[in-house]
């Protein structure tokens, strides 16, 4: 691989790692917030913040999952193309 291809591969790799971390952390945050809301069980301010935050994260998880899969596929195809 030449310098330009290595630079392009490194960019893809950074995007893939970033998207994967966002996916993992958002999924973990969703579980924590929903668990907190479930443990409280009574409609208090913390309950509603945890519930709304957990549902917001739950909506964001598929987006970050798609990005992680997309960049994973791009890295794979880039590697196959340049073997």
Residues 26-40 pLDDT 10s: 999 999 999 999 898
Q: What would the pLDDT profile of 14-72 be if each residue is shown by its tens digit?
A: 999 999 999 999 999 999 999 999 898 888 998 999 999 999 999 999 999 999 999 99
Distance CA 37, CA 29 (A): 12
Q: Buried (b) or exposed (e) across 44-83, using 16+ Cβ within 10 A? A: eeebeebbebbeebbebbeebbebbeebeeebeeeeeeee
Q: pTM higher than 0.85, yes or no?
A: no
Question: CA 52 to CA 46: how far, in whole Å?
Answer: 10
Give the pLDDT confidence score for residue 2 in this predicted structure.
83
Find the angle CA(74)-CA(8)-CA(63) to the nearest 5 degrees: 40
């Amino acid at each position: 691989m030449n310098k330009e291809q290595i630079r392009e591969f490194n960019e893809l790799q950074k995007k893939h790692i970033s998207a994967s971390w966002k996916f993992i952390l958002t999924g973990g945050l969703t579980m924590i917030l929903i668990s907190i809301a479930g443990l409280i069980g009574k409609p208090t301010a913390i309950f509603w913040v945890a519930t709304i935050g957990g549902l917001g994260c739950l909506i964001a998880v598929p987006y970050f999952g798609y990005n992680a899969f997309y960049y994973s596929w791009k890295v794979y195809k880039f590697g196959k193309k340049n073997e």
